[in-house]
Structure 1
Amino acid sequence: MAPSSFKETLNITHIGTATAILGLDGINLITDPFFSPAGTEWDVGVAVLKNTDDPALALQDLPVIDAVLLSHEDHPDNLDELGRRLLDGRRVLTTMDGAKKLAPRPGVRGLRPWETVPLDIGGRRFQVTGTPCQHLPGGECTGFIVTAVEFGETEGLPNAIYFSGDTVYLEELAEMRKKFHISVAIFNIGAAMAPLGDSPPLQITMDGKQAARLFCEINADVLVPLHYESWGHFTQNGQQLAKAFEEEGIQEKIQRSQHRSSVTSCGREGKDSWTAVRPDTF
């Protein structure tokens, strides 16, 4: 079910993990850029992370990228060395700590939770609001709410695109429904678990039930799931998530994945259509 009140054409191309291109009438934003081939490993101290799938698109296959929405810069599954190449010479929105670490790139700006900044691209102005996240202790992470006049309104609230970043469920996030109508919610899910030595592993992204709860609480129209495949520390795959979404009664609101590199699109004035993104699940 696509939101008929959303007035602009939105194309979402899921490349893999939390990397997606948001195409808005010729303007392209990219989330959490990761482009390493399958089998690449990272030793992060408490564990060795390894990805199992190639990205659907390589760097050289990308359209022109106008800006980067980077939830955090310090985890390789959200920003690898190849993805860092996209940061140079572009507008990048990320965490306050991330902006310091990515200096001296002049286009990088950090966002505090609920802070709103303008993003001017191609003669158009978007407004981007940072959202709180709870990920690993001691680290910073941010989500993003993107609005524009061209998106239109629903019941007096600006239509918006919400990208969650890496976070577990937070009650505070439900506050966004008071200021925004979330037309499309893009969630990093998969119930990722972080090993903590002798302690039990810590859940650091939403599972299916948490995602369904947040989706309902923010009154979103459509849920596009990302970040549930390709890594061993993701503990809920697409089939498990689909079951959870069905149990929570939101299965009709989910963008169902069938083909890895195709495009999810949301159009104008009731002419909406949604096609598939990934082959392995949903």
Structure 2
Amino acid sequence: MSETAFTLVGGPTGLLEFAGWTFLTDPTFDEPGEYPGAAGTLVKTSGPAIRAENLPAVDVILLSHDQHADNLDTSGRSLVETGGTKVLGTLEAADRMATVTGVAPWERTVLEAPDRTTVTVTAVPAQHGPAGCESVTGTVTGFVLTAADLPTVYVSGDNASLEVVGDVAKRFAPIGLAVLFAGAARVGLFDNAALTLTATDAAEAARILETAAVVPVHAEGWQHFSEGHSELRTEFAAAGLQDRLRIPTPGEKQSL
């Protein structure tokens, strides 16, 4: 059986190897730059550890949402719109991008191919800010990957709600690997509330999910990420969960 592994490209973007399939999370491949928007200008501070043209073969792109540049920048959007790779995303993303297959919360997509392990991808809710944020920040999805005889993988997407994490845990815990979008993103909305998990909440999410390993993403590479790896180490240690935290080094494959 193939190993589960993760390679951070940068920000929310990573290569997830699971059950012999390769998944790409939220494609962002631009060099540093600025992205003006309704909530202000997002500033990308570092480029990708792996350029888009140097990616290995990708079977499925897991797109948590398409409306924010820190989860789908210009190069990432071009990759998605080129087609040729299956893209799973929100129903709203599918309305805006013809190459996206829209999936509703708790909808399952079964990946099958000759001589390959069957993988089920379940779309799960995500809340991109405090309760009631959707009309401003838009719809986001997370994903859960399952396969026979393999630990379950959870990819949170831009989620700030522990209640949502609890809903995922009720259906899928224990989780083998949680790829948590952390960074406590703040852009001034909702009294500058965190739009993704804080380090404290990421540690609590690890406990709720009963996860064996957490790889935090979305915690470096953009100026509006208000917390990073230092805060994650501190909060996981305070919760006694430091042995579950796997801080990624961009470009380096982690076997999990």
TM-score of the pair, normalised by structure 2: 0.90
- The answer to whether residue 16 in structure 2 is matched with residue 22 in structure 1 is yes
Q: Deviations over 1:60-79 (max 9, x none)?
A: 11101111000001111111
Give me the CA root mean square deviation.
1.7
1:229 equivalent among 201, 217, 220: 220
Do 2:216 and 2:246's aligned partners in 1 also have CA atoms closer than 8 Å?
yes
2:254 equivalent among 264, 268, 279: 264
Could you tell me which amino acid in structure 2 is paired with residue 265 of structure 1? S
Q: Report the alpha carbon displacement of residue 150 of structure 1 after superposing the two structures with TM.
A: 4.8
Could you tell me which amino acid in structure 2 is paired with residue 261 of structure 1? G
Q: Report the alpha carbon displacement of residue 179 of structure 1 after superposing the two structures with TM.
A: 3.4
- Give the aligned partner of residue 54 of structure 2: 61
Q: Deviations over 1:96-118 (max 9, x none)?
A: 11111112x2xx32122222221
User: Does the residue aligned with 1:42 lie in a helix, a strand or coil?
Assistant: strand
Do 2:177 and 2:214's aligned partners in 1 also have CA atoms closer than 8 Å?
yes
CA distance in 1, matches of 2:92, 2:241: 36
- Give the aligned partner of residue 248 of structure 1: 239
Q: Deviations over 1:129-184 (max 9, x none)?
A: 11111115321000000011252xxxxxxx31100000102314323334323100
CA distance in 1, matches of 2:111, 2:166: 24
Aligned pairs for 1:1-282 (under 5 A) are 8-24=2-18, 26-38=20-32, 40-87=33-80, 88-103=83-98, 105=99, 108-121=100-113, 123-135=116-128, 136-138=133-135, 139-151=138-150, 159-180=151-172, 181-196=174-189, 200-257=191-248, 259-266=249-256
CA distance in 2, matches of 1:11, 1:218: 19
Q: Report the alpha carbon displacement of residue 215 of structure 1 after superposing the two structures with TM.
A: 1.2
Could you tell me which amino acid in structure 2 is paired with residue 209 of structure 1? T
Name the % identity.
33
Question: Rg bigger for which structure?
Answer: 1
TM-score of the pair, normalised by structure 1: 0.82
Do 1:187 and 1:226's aligned partners in 2 also have CA atoms closer than 8 Å?
yes
Q: Deviations over 1:192-245 (max 9, x none)?
A: 01223xx62132000011111111111111011111112121111211221111
Comparing 248-257 with 14-23, greater Cα deviation is found at 248-257
Do 2:186 and 2:192's aligned partners in 1 also have CA atoms closer than 8 Å?
yes
Comparing 113-122 with 141-150, greater Cα deviation is found at 113-122
Gaps of 5+ in 1: 1-6, 152-158, 267-282
Q: Report the alpha carbon displacement of residue 37 of structure 1 after superposing the two structures with TM.
A: 0.4
Gaps of 5+ in 2: none
As a proportion of its length, which structure holds more helix? 2
User: Does the residue aligned with 2:126 lie in a helix, a strand or coil?
Assistant: coil
Could you tell me which amino acid in structure 1 is paired with residue 52 of structure 2? L
CA 1:226 to 1:175, structure 2 compared with 1: closer, same or farther past 3 Å? same
